């Protein structure tokens, strides 16, 4: 049997490495990886019959759905985005999905959409919760990662003046962060933008933590410019996962950083925009409840858990939820059975 993973390299100029973190999670269960199929070109596939764990975000090009009969899918961690729901829920698609019931959905939003159409669907959680099977590390280092931490400044003349004044008083700390912050802007522009970040995050993290942290962006043209193949992108996803596995703490707005951290038992704080759009919010139903969350609301961070300021020495007064463990076990069992069935 041939086993393939979903790739997304051809669709967006800014690759989201989180898509390859999801592929990495699927690859744990395959006896071998025989290639990739573009997630947004599924209907165009004309290759050999193959099995694919059909997890991820569907989809930027719903005109290329459903997949052809050469693909034998396992539907787990399946997300139908609100932007594509009308095309994804056409009668042809519903008939296709009914052939592979029950459909495991990454979030409750997708589950409810399918149930409304008469499809047997359940909340499975995300495949990245299973990454601890292979990548959990008992060895932890002292590194703290901020991976696309959420913050937003609405610029006007008042906020600009306030940012300039704040920057004057905290320039040394903000400048050290700006020098390593992975954003393609001038140094001074980054310093101005980071005033909002530093003002709010220093309420929960010491200056030492913020200045010495490692800052990572998981969606950027860097990935498409420096990794020319799906295999290379999968390797980069694995490199990042291994870093997170050993981290002392990860703070992130990316679910495909936060969920792997849960699965690998790395302390993690999820950051979010409390006023996000439906297209963004629909991804989180059932998942958000797994996290310790810092919400950005009206220019301020608000925690949904008890947190004292994190510094370089103290132990955390919070812990990851363990609710994810049942989801990870059920996902693993489903995937193992999917592969085992090839040999029966």
CA angle 153, 159, 163 (to 5 degrees): 85
Do residues 24 and 71 make contact, with C-beta atoms less than 8 angstroms apart?
no
Span 246-264, pLDDT tens digits: 999 999 999 999 999 999 9
Do residues 49 and 70 make contact, with C-beta atoms less than 8 angstroms apart?
yes
Q: What is the mean pLDDT of residues 209-219?
A: 96
| Partner residues linked to 58 by β-bridges | 80
Q: pTM of the predicted model, to two decimals? A: 0.95
Beta-carbon count within 10 A of 85 CB: 16
> According to the model, what pLDDT value does residue 276 have?
80
In which band, very low, low, confident or very high, does the pLDDT at 184 lie, cut at 50, 70 and 90?
Answer: confident
Q: What is the mean pLDDT of residues 49-68?
A: 94
Q: What is the mean pLDDT of residues 155-173?
A: 95
**Domains (range + CATH), the chain:** 3-131+326-343 (no CATH), 133-324 (3.40.50)
CA 21, CA 245: separation in Å to the nearest integer? Answer: 13
Residue identified by tokens 């193992």 is: 336
Span 69-81, pLDDT tens digits: 999 999 999 999 9
């Amino acid at each position: 049997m041939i086993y393939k993973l979903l790739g997304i390299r051809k669709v967006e100029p800014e690759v989201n490495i989180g898509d390859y973190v999801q592929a990495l999670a699927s690859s744990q269960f395959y006896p071998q990886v025989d290639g990739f199929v573009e997630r947004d070109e599924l209907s165009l596939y004309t290759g050999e019959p193959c099995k694919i764990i059909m997890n991820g975000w569907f989809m930027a090009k719903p005109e290329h759905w459903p997949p052809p009969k050469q693909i034998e899918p396992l539907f787990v961690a399946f997300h139908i985005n609100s932007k594509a729901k009308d095309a994804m829920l056409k009668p042809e698609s519903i008939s296709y999905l009914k052939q592979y019931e029950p459909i495991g959905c990454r979030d409750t939003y997708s589950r409810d959409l399918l149930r409304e159409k008469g499809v047997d669907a359940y909340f499975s959680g995300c495949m990245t919760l299973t990454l601890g099977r292979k990548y959990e590390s008992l060895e932890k280092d002292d590194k703290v990662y901020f991976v696309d931490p959420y913050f937003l400044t609405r610029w006007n003349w008042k906020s600009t003046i306030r940012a300039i004044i704040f920057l004057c008083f905290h320039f040394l700390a903000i400048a050290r962060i700006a020098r390593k912050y992975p954003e393609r802007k001038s140094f001074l522009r980054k310093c101005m933008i980071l005033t909002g970040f530093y003002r709010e995050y220093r309420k929960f993290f010491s200056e030492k933590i913020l200045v010495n942290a490692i800052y990572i962006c998981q969606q950027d043209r860097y990935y498409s410019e420096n990794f020319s193949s799906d295999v290379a992108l999968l390797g980069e996803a694995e490199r990042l996962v291994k870093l997170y596995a050993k981290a002392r703490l990860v703070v992130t707005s990316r679910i495909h950083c936060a969920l792997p951290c849960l699965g690998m038992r790395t302390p993690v704080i999820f950051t979010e925009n409390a006023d996000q759009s439906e297209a963004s919010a629909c991804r989180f139903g059932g998942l958000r409840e797994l996290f310790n969350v810092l919400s950005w609301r009206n220019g301020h961070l608000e925690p949904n858990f008890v947190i004292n300021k994190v510094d370089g020495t103290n132990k955390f007064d919070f812990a990851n939820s363990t609710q994810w463990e049942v989801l990870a076990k059920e996902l693993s069992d489903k995937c193992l059975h999917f592969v085992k069935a090839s040999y029966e």
